[in-house]
Chain A
Amino acid sequence: MAKEIFMPKLSSTMEVGTLLQWFKEEGDSVEMGEPLFEIMTDKINIEVESYEEGILLKKYFNVDDEVEVNACIGYIGEAGEKVPDSPPAPAAETESEEKGQGNSSVETAGKTVSANADSNENNDGKIRATPAARRVSRENDISLSAISGSGPNGRVHQHDVEQAIAEGRLAVTPLAEKIAADHGVDLSQITGTGARGKIEKQDVLSYLESVNVSDQEPVASPAKRIKLKGLRKAVADKMVESVQTIPHVTLTSDVDMTNVIALRKSLLPVVEKDTGYRLSFTEVIIKAVASALCKHPELNASLIGDEIVMNKEVNIGLAVAVENGLIVPSIKDVNQKGLAELTQISKELGRKARENKLKPDEMRGSTFTISNLGMYAIDAFTPIINGPETAILGVGRITEKAVAVDGELAVRPMMVLSLSFDHRAIDGAPAAAFLTNLKTNLENPYSLLV
C-alpha cells in the first residue's frame, strides 16, 4: 500500500510551506529516516525525513511551489504501485486516522517536525540532528549533546538516539531530574551511580557541589538562566544553520557620504511632505543597493540545494531588532520604487516588526539583506548571511574622518560598508565589483537617477 507524503505543519501559525528541494527523484528508493525534501516557512527551513521506506512513486509539487500544510505532496510505496495522477484533497489528521491507511507514520511526521520547530530542547543549538532523532530524544528526555552522531558531520540520527536509549545512558530518577532542571544542569554531564547508571538525587547534588567547588568562589545566588525559546530559538537556529553551512567572506569598504548627506538634506522636506515620514540614510542605501544588485545579479541570487537561483525580483530584507530577537521584514521590488515609497514602506515595516504585527508575506521573499548598525558607534562588522540569500550588507556609522582628497587632507563624513557573501555561490571578484559599484553609487547618488 503506497503511503502519502504530507507537507508537515512546522509551527502553530504555519499555513503553507515552500518546497525548496527534493532530495529524491521519482523511482528512487528511499530509506526510513533519509532526508526526502526540504521546505521553507516564514520562520525556518528544514529537511524532512522519510518515515517510510520504499520507492518514491510520485512528486506532485516542484521546487518553489507553495503547498498547504497537511496536503499530500507525493507517495512512497512499492515499485509499480498505482497512485493518483493529481494530489488528493488535503485531509485533516483525524480524517486520515479514520481512513486507517497507515497514516499514523505521517501524523508522526507532522508532529515531529512541528514539535521540533517549537522545541524547547535548546541545549542542542549546535548539534546536528535529524528531526526524527530530535523527536526520539525529546520523547525520551535524552540530551542530544550526549550522543555521538553517526551521520555526515556527526549528525545524530534516530538510530543513534535509540542506541543511546538502549544503553540506558541517561536514566534519571524523577527527583534527580527535578533538581537538575531547577539548577539548569545538563544531565548529560552527570554520571549516574544508580542501577545501570541511573542518575539519582545524590549524583546531581555531588555534581552541583563539584561545579561550585571548581568555581573557587561561593555562589551566593545562581546565575539567572533563560531558556532559549520562541523567536530567540528561531534566531539561534537560523544563525547556527547559516554559520555552519555557509562559508562567509566579509569585504569592507570606506564610503564618502558627503553627497548622500547633501541629497538627503534636499529631499528630506519633499519626502516628509509626501509621506509624513523622514527620509533616512537607510532608504538611500537601499536604493543604491538595489541599483548595484541589478548590475550584479549574482549578489541577488539564492543558493538552494545545489542550484543557484537567479532571483528576478530585487527584494531587500531589513534586519530589525525586536524584543528578544531579530526579524527581517522584506521590501519587495525595491528597484521599481522611489525614495518616498521606500521611506514609507521601510518605516511601516519597522514599526510593524517592533509591534510584532508583520504578516508572513512581509517576512519572506527577501533576496538580499541589509543590517544597519549606524545608529551605534560601530564602524565595520561581519554580518551573517540570511540564507538562502547569498550576501548581506552591514552598514556602519557615518563619522567624520581625515581623508586625502585630490592630494589634500580633508575631513569627510565616512561610512564603512561590510559585505558578507556566500563563497559557495560567489567568488571574491564579483563581490568586490558589487561593493565597488555600491560605493560609487553612494558617492555619486545622483547617478541613481540615471
Chain B
Amino acid sequence: MTKFDVAIVGGGPGGYVSAIRAAKLGLSVALVEGRELGGTCLNRGCIPSKTLLKNAEVINQVKDAKKFGIQIDSFSFDLNTMIERKNQVIGQLRNGINSLLKANKIKLYNGYGTVDNQKIISVDMEEKTEKLEAESIILANGSKPFVPNLPGLSDIPYHTSDTIFDIDQVPGHLTIVGGGVIGLEIACIFHSLGTKVEIIEMADRIIPAEDKEASNFLEKELKGKGILIHTSTKVHSFKKNEKTKVQIEKNGKETSLETDGVLVSVGREPNLIGLDNLSVDYDGKFVKVDDNMQTSIEGIYAIGDLIGGYQLAHAASEEGIRAVNHILRENNKKDFIMPRCIYTFPEIASVGMTEEQAKAQGYQVKSQKIDLAANGKGIASSENNGFMKIISEKKYGEILGVVMAGAHVTEMISQATSFMYLEGTMEELEDMVFPHPTLSEAMFEAAAKWLGKGIHY
C-alpha cells in the first residue's frame, strides 16, 4: 500500500489547489478524483457559465450596436458552436490542471475514493480497487445541485446546472426555480439567447444573502430587460402537458404558467460519496470543521462545498490552503475576507459584511453609496448603471464591507478586498489616487463623501 503525506479526495478548485500547495511545500501528495479534474467549477459551474455569459454579452452588444451608430441588419447564432466553444475552454483548462499535477509530482488516482477512520482510502478504479494510506487527508468532495421533492417534478424533463450548459435547443420559455446566483446568471444567458425567462423565488427578494440595495437594484435591472421575477412565491407542482404547467402560489393566490423548460437552482447539497465508513461529525448536511478545517478526526480535514459556508470556488481553494497550513503545523488565525461575484448583466460584486450583517454584529455603521450614473467612464461607455457602496464603522473608518453593482465590478472588487485585507481605512482610501476616467473612481468618491469632502457628490 502506497503511503503519502497527504491524500486529497476531490479534484475541484478546493482539492487540486490544496494538492499543488502541499506538493510545493514538500509533501508527497495523492489526489483522488472520480470524474473530470476541475470539479463543478470548471466542468459544470463557474467556467461554463462565464463562457456562455460571454456569448450572451456579445449578442447584447450586437443588439445594442445601433445606439453606437453601428447598423447590424440581421444576425443569427448557432447554439452548437457556442457549446463547442464552452467545451474547448473547459478542455484547455482541464489540461492545464493535469500538467500542473504532473509538474508537481502529484499522484492522481482516477476513481471514487472511500475513506475510513484509519486514513486509508480505497479507490474504485473499475477493474480493481487500489488502497492508499495517508498521514493527513483533505476531503474536498464538493456538492451537487439540490433537487427538492416537488410534486410532479420527476415526471417532467428538468435541468439543473449540471445539464443546462449542454442544452441542445434554446427553449422559448424557461422557468427558473430559485433566484440565487446560479439561477440569475443562467437567466441572463437565456434571456440574451431570446428565451422568455421567468424566475420564481421563495424569499422576498432575489440573491437574499446579498446586500439589500444590490438585490433591489439587480431585480429592477433584470425586470427592465424583460425577465419576469416572482418573489415570495412558492412552486406547488409541475404537470406535463404539451408544455409544462407550473402551479405557483404568491400571497395565498394560486396561478399557473406554461413553460418549455424548467431549471431547478434552489441550492446545492454536499457530495457524501465515499464517506460512509468515516465517523466525522456533521453540522446539518455538511461536514463539521474547526478554524483550521480539521474535522472531528485528527488529521482529516474537509473543505469547500462539503462543509457548506460560502460555496464558492475561491473559498474552497483558500480553505484547502488553510488545511495544508495546518498539516504543516501552522494555525490559521485570520477571518476570511471573502469576495463574492455575480456575473449577471449588470454584475454584482461584494466583499466582507453586508450593511445588515454589520449592524447585527453591533458595529456603529456608516455606509456611503455612490451612484455610477454621473461617472465619466460609465457614461462614455454607456455603462453608468450601478453603484458602489462602502459599509464602514464610524470610529476608525474601518471598512467592513463593499458592494459594487454595475459593469466590470467583478474585476474591481479586489481593490476593496485589498484595502480590507491590509486594514486600510476610509482616510487612506480617500487619500489614494484613482485614475480617471474609470468606474473605480466611485470608490474614491464614496470615501471622500463619507468623510464629508466629496468632489462630485
Contacts and interface: CB of A to CB of B under 8 A. Distances in A.
B398 A175 contact: yes
Interface stretch (B154-162, B300-308, B418-426, B449-457): B418-426
Interface stretch (A125-133, A176-184, A325-333, A440-448): A176-184
A182 B423 contact: no
Can you list the 5 inter-chain pairs with the closest CB atoms, starting with the nearest?
A173-B423, A175-B423, A178-B396, A174-B425, A174-B428
B423 A176 contact: yes
Contact of B333 (A173, A174, A179, A193): A193
Given A193-B333, A202-B333, A202-B334, A174 B395 contact: no
A201 B395 contact: no
Nearest to A176: B423
Interface string A167-208: 000000111101100100000000001000000111000000
Given A173-B422, A173-B424, A175-B425, A182 B334 contact: no
B427 interface: yes
Interface of B: 333-334, 395-398, 422-425, 427-428
Mostly, the A contact residues are: helix
A138 B395 CA distance: 25
A179 B396 contact: yes
B196 to A, nearest CB: 49
B418 to A, nearest CB: 12
21 contacts: A173-B422, A173-B423, A174-B423, A174-B424, A174-B425, A174-B427, A174-B428, A175-B396, A175-B398, A175-B425, A176-B423, A178-B396, A178-B425, A179-B396, A182-B395, A182-B396, A193-B333, A200-B423, A201-B423, A202-B333, A202-B334
Contacts of B424: 173-175
A201 B398 contact: yes
A338 to B, nearest CB: 63
A187 to B, nearest CB: 14
Contacts of A201: 398, 423
A173 to B, nearest CB: 3
Nearest to A179: B396
A182 B425 CA distance: 14
A179 B396 CA distance: 7
Interface in A273-298: none
Contacts of B397: 178
Nearest to B395: A182
Given A182-B396, A201-B423, A202-B333, 13 more contacts: A174-B423, A174-B424, A174-B425, A174-B427, A174-B428, A175-B396, A175-B398, A175-B423, A175-B424, A178-B396, A178-B397, A182-B395, A201-B398
A188 B427 CA distance: 24
A173 B428 CA distance: 11
Contacts of B395: 182
A348 B424 CA distance: 54
Contacts of B396: 175, 178-179, 182
A254 B428 CA distance: 64
A118 B333 CA distance: 41
B222 to A, nearest CB: 37
A180 to B, nearest CB: 10
Interface in A150-165: none
Contacts of A182: 395-396
Contacts of A175: 396, 398, 423-425
B276 to A, nearest CB: 40
A200 B427 CA distance: 17
Nearest to B399: A175
Nearest to B396: A178
A186 to B, nearest CB: 18
User: Chain B CB within 10 Å — which of A174, A178, A193, A202 has the most?
Assistant: A174
Contacts of A178: 396-397, 425
A44 B441 CA distance: 49
A386 B424 CA distance: 46
A182 B427 CA distance: 16
Contacts of A173: 422-424
A175 B392 CA distance: 12
A202 B422 CA distance: 12
A371 to B, nearest CB: 44
Contacts of B425: 174-175, 178
A378 B395 CA distance: 47
Nearest to B334: A202
A176 B422 CA distance: 10
Nearest to A201: B423
A175 B398 CA distance: 7
A301 to B, nearest CB: 54
A178 B425 CA distance: 9
Contacts of B398: 175, 201
A184 to B, nearest CB: 15
A174 B334 CA distance: 17
Contacts of A202: 333-334
A200 B333 CA distance: 12
User: Chain B CB within 10 Å — which of A175, A176, A182 has the most?
Assistant: A175
Contacts of A200: 423
A356 B425 CA distance: 41
A173 B422 CA distance: 6
A201 B425 CA distance: 11
A201 B333 CA distance: 12
